[in-house]
Structure 1
Amino acid sequence: MRGLVPGLASPYPIGESLPGVFRGDSFTQRWCSAMDEVVAPVITTLDSFSAYLDPATAPEDLLPWLAGWMGIALDGHQSAERQRELVQIGVELLQWRGTARGVRAAVRALFDLDPELIESGGTASSTQTGTPLPGSDRPELLVRLRVPDPEGFDVRRLDALVEMAKPAHLPHRVEVTG
């Protein structure tokens, strides 16, 4: 990701920290200068490491890496600004991952549409014995999304997003309608 930066000066030149006997040796100074060229980007990166971890200031090529920390896969369909927004939203949504609220928010963030979630489970209470149990005995999550153009919509992106945002143990299906 990072590499040499031509002309970047080291804030801590190695040659200046050597004992006096080596400061006058031209070979040692040239060798130290070459090492300074390698170490300078490392020092600069470490000095500004907090900026690398902030989606607003991270270099573009690090955004997929930051997203990967949260289990988000950026698919390259978005501009750099949109990727920054998605990583920031991902930080906020991480606490809701695996919940209905998290699935809704993730779909809304990526597609700017509100999904309909249909879950097989349920809860209920009754004062009478023999009341049927709510929900279904087969766990499943159905995510239905109404879009303007169902034929041109990439269902695989929606499926991958739901796979990431839903509870890991829960099978799911996605439906896209007009």
Structure 2
Amino acid sequence: MRRPDWLVGQLPPAMLQEDFFRRFVEMFQAQADTLMAHADDLEHLADPGLAPPELLPWLASWIGLESVDGAGPPAMQREVLRTAARTLAWRGTPAGLLAMLELFSGAPAVLEDGGGVWREGESPADTAWVVMRVASTGNLTERAFADLVADEVPAHVRAELWVDDRLVWPRQSAPTTAPLSVPQPPTET
């Protein structure tokens, strides 16, 4: 913590007694106080919880997050940024998809995928699929929610997104293969 007279206090004692020198240095101290205050805040600018709302889209751009564009409420933008930064290493995995679904829907989500560990020779033919279920899309439209999900699902994975009991992605008009279903575990014989 700096003293209020940090710059003036550095004058030699003889100059401190002269009113002219004291007032002259106080002008520079007033300007320097502004610069020092900005320097003191620098370490907090990269913190999503403390950064000014205007900087949130810029911070999001550091991790390639386009959904933080300054349009939503700052509290939601901060939460999206924190969650995305925390789960970036898990992007495209079931854990990362689940975190993203729950963040944007605002409620628990269910995720079923074809991944797993099987004994040699017992793996199913198709493991590259995921079925995601949410009760609602939170503050987003179904289209915007589906677009976010589409950005998170790996390109080689077939996916379905269900909101309540409606299939919203892939859209019904898109050509699809047979509906995805959860494979049953192999039976012991």
Q: TM-score, normalising length from structure 1? A: 0.58
1:136 aligns with 2:126: yes
Larger relative contact order (C-alpha < 8 A, sep ≥ 6)?
1
Local SS of the residue matching 1:48 = helix
Deviations 1:89-143 (A, max 9, x none): 22222232221011101111121122222324444226xxxx6642526x33232
Query: Which residue number corresponds to residue 96 of structure 2?
Result: 102
Unaligned runs of 5+ in 1: 1-36
| 1:172 Cα offset (Å) | 2.9
- C-alpha separation between the residues in 2 aligned to 1:103 and 1:71? 16
- C-alpha separation between the residues in 2 aligned to 1:50 and 1:169? 40
Distance 1:168 1:44, change over 3 A: farther
Q: Give the length in aligned residue pairs.
A: 137
| 1:47 Cα offset (Å) | 5.4
1:54 aligns with 2:47: yes
What pairs with 1:15-94 in structure 2 (closer than 5 Å)?
A: 48-72=41-65, 73-74=67-68, 78-94=72-88
RMSD: 3.6
Deviations 1:26-76 (A, max 9, x none): xxxxxxxxxxx9xx9988656533221111221111111212222322255
- C-alpha separation between the residues in 2 aligned to 1:42 and 1:172? 52
1:174 aligns with 2:167: no
